[in-house]
Structure formats: C-alpha cells, structure tokens
Amino acid sequence: MTAKARKPVLLRLDPAVHDALARWAADELRSANAQIEFLLRRALAQAGRLPDDVGGLPKRGRPPKGPHPSPPEGPAAKDDSEE
C-alpha cells in the first residue's frame, strides 16, 4: 500500500491560539501539525463531510528503527601519507 502524498498548507494563526494548540498537542503526544489534522478530520466526520477515500491518520510516535545501512564495500580509502 502506497501512502498518499501530503499536501503542504500555509496556515496563519493568532499566537495565543497556536500556543494553546501546541500545549494540547503536547498533552496528546502529537505535533501541532498532527493535532490540526486530527481536529480537522474529526470536524469533517462530525459534519458528515469526510470523504470515504480518506486514509487513516499516520501512527503516532517515532517510526520503528529499521536496519542500519551497510558500510560501503571495496578497499578503504588509501592515505598517501603512509607510503
């Protein structure tokens, strides 16, 4: 399943509203951006306006650690000063 691209949006907020939103987001362990999306989705669903094809919210928290990249193969870089 491929994830849909996220659409960047510029949003201007009153500083006091942003501060309250940021505190609420921190309480919920979300970023302010994720909190805004959560609230917008909830409002759309309550109004019966959330499209059926909208995917779920991304999982909260840090992504799981994947395998570390392998070191480059081949001879190590030769230092000319050792000749």
Residue 58 CB contacts under 8 Å (≥ 6 apart), including other chains = 34
Q: Look up residue 71 and give its two tokens.
A: 């070191």
Residues of the chain with pLDDT under 50: 1-2, 83
pLDDT of residue 31: 92
pLDDT of residue 82: 53
Q: What is the value of pTM for the model shown?
A: 0.63
pLDDT of residue 73: 65
Q: Look up residue 63 and give its two tokens.
A: 């992504």
CB of 25 within 8 A of CB of 32?
Answer: yes
CB of 54 within 8 A of CB of 6?
Answer: no
pLDDT of residue 60: 67
> Per this entry, what is the length of the chain?
83
